[in-house]
Structure 1
Amino acid sequence: MLLLGPFVNGLAIIIGGSLGLIFTFIPEHMKDSILKAQGLVVIGLGIQMISASTDVIITLLSLIIGVVIGEILDLEGRLNGVGHWLEFKLGDKNAGNISQGLVSGSMIFIIGAMGIVGGLDAGMRGDNTVFYTKSFMDFFIALVMTTTYGLGVIISGIPAFLYEALITLGAKGFAQFIPESVLSTMTKQVSATGGVIIFAIGLNMMNVTKTRVGNMIPAIFVAMIAVYIISLF
């Protein structure tokens, strides 16, 4: 089954988040400490991913162009809009801070090398090992995040599945046209670009900044396109 990996990952997020709803009784000061500890780990992960960059200039240009596109499209505003609509439909009492959970959860679960590498492995070689490993990690991340952000984290399992399914199907289609060496460089560069965004998410979780990380999403795809264009010359 081609999309088994993305399906398992999405399901792990939903199940982990659902269990997290049970632990909402955790004291606020403990939740804050857990969230900040998680933020520090996310920052560390971002730094590790940034170090994978093969070309800092490409990373910088990808982020600049991506942010401009994201700001014009107001991607974070649209994600927040979906969350607020769900809050209205479900009611604040049951929904929690859905918009913040949806945005934060989507960013954490979508952005990163594992989702990209997992999609490439599943699409090109039919190997879901990376996805299974990511699912194990995301299960516990969703459990902890849901105690703070609520139902939005659980819902973020859906865009995570769709994103990874898209990468898997895309890899299946274009693998025959792109040399494996280019795909390797592309993955590293996208990982570095995503690392900057992950770093920004960690700072937001620490309440150090209020970066509109949703508007940075296009930078990932700009990095992929940039690497491919450069490989043609």
Structure 2
Amino acid sequence: MIPTGSLVNGAAIIGGSIIGILLHSRFPERIRQIIFQALGLGVILIGIQMSLKVQDILVLIFSLLIGGIIGELLRLDTMFERGAGWLKKKVGSKDTGFIDGMITASLIFCIGAMAIIGSLEEGIKGDTTILYTKAMLDGFASIALASSYGIGVLFSFIPVIIYQGALTIFASSFQEWFSPLIIDQLTACGGLLIIGISLTLLEIKRINLANLLPSLGVVVALTVLFN
């Protein structure tokens, strides 16, 4: 099936980023700082709401531990940075915030509840309502992010389409796997990673979220195994 919701989401990110890039030079530093603080507070609230969906907290904790170890062994952070760096060279960008912007925006857009549940809804039921709503929200968020980080945010549409599209296609092929329990556990795990993003945006603590991404897969496997 064609992941229509993800394609629309990607287009919204491109459109919002273009607006943000045009506004980039017009925002003084103090405005950019307050934008980051507002985003950080909003993101931490989203993360808390998501994480409270947890049904089996021990499985969730072990998933983060195991996923983090896997990510460190694979050096996913280095892989993402190299990928973003390669793309930066390909487009000829000299923007110093390109890599940080692309990675931060990709993480925000990819591991939220709407990304997970919306992709599953489209794959299982053919319902794109959640992803269309997410597209609108991501479009506005990309304006704020691109106004601070620059053009790197625009290219976050690539991992968004790949990640959400893959989830949709996978869900359509393996519908019986996705019970409410698995979806809740997956959402809770994503919520904790979202809280990690907010700590970075608020400059409280920089967490290596790229290396924690495997925990999203591990939490599904452990939930199936122990429940």
> Aligned pair 1:70/2:66, yes or no?
no
TM-score normalised by length of structure 1: 0.93
Q: Deviations over 1:12-35 (max 9, x none)?
A: 111111111010121111001111
Please report how far the alpha carbon of residue 144 of structure 1 lies from its aligned counterpart in structure 2 after TM superposition.
0.4
Q: Deviations over 1:92-113 (max 9, x none)?
A: 53x3411101110110000022
State how far apart, in whole Å, the 2-side matches of 1:115 and 1:8 are: 13
Q: Does the Cα contact within 8 Å between 1:76 and 1:103 map onto a contact in 2? A: no
Which runs of structure 2 are paired with 1:214-229 in the superposition (5 Å)? Answer: 214-229=210-225
Q: Deviations over 1:77-122 (max 9, x none)?
A: 11111222333344453x3411101110110000022111111111
- Aligned residue number for residue 172 of structure 2: 172
Q: Deviations over 1:136-187 (max 9, x none)?
A: 1100111100011111111011110110110100011011x43xxx521111
Q: Name which of 191, 205, 230 aligns with 2:187.
A: 191
State how far apart, in whole Å, the 1-side matches of 2:158 and 2:89 are: 19
State how far apart, in whole Å, the 1-side matches of 2:139 and 2:210 are: 22
SS in 1 for 2:179: helix
Counterpart residue type for residue 43 of structure 1: I
- Aligned residue number for residue 42 of structure 2: 41
SS in 2 for 1:207: coil
- Aligned residue number for residue 211 of structure 1: 207
Counterpart residue type for residue 140 of structure 1: F
Counterpart residue type for residue 50 of structure 2: M
SS in 2 for 1:23: helix
Q: Deviations over 1:26-79 (max 9, x none)?
A: 111100111111101111111111111001111100100010011111111111
Which runs of structure 2 are paired with 1:104-119 in the superposition (5 Å)? Answer: 104-119=104-119
TM-score normalised by length of structure 2: 0.95
Which runs of structure 2 are paired with 1:147-166 in the superposition (5 Å)? Answer: 147-166=147-166
Q: Does the Cα contact within 8 Å between 1:79 and 1:102 map onto a contact in 2? A: no
Q: Does the Cα contact within 8 Å between 1:96 and 1:151 map onto a contact in 2? A: no
Q: Does the Cα contact within 8 Å between 1:87 and 1:96 map onto a contact in 2? A: no
SS in 1 for 2:146: helix
State how far apart, in whole Å, the 1-side matches of 2:49 and 2:115 are: 16
Counterpart residue type for residue 159 of structure 2: P
Q: Does the Cα contact within 8 Å between 1:97 and 1:150 map onto a contact in 2? A: yes
State how far apart, in whole Å, the 2-side matches of 1:116 and 1:87 are: 28
Please report how far the alpha carbon of residue 210 of structure 1 lies from its aligned counterpart in structure 2 after TM superposition.
1.2
Counterpart residue type for residue 209 of structure 1: K
Pair 89,166 (structure 1): closer, same or farther in 2 beyond 3 Å: closer
> Aligned pair 1:130/2:130, yes or no?
yes
Mean Cα deviation higher: 119-128 or 75-84: 75-84
State how far apart, in whole Å, the 1-side matches of 2:2 and 2:84 are: 30
State how far apart, in whole Å, the 2-side matches of 1:103 and 1:193 are: 19
Q: Percent identity?
A: 35
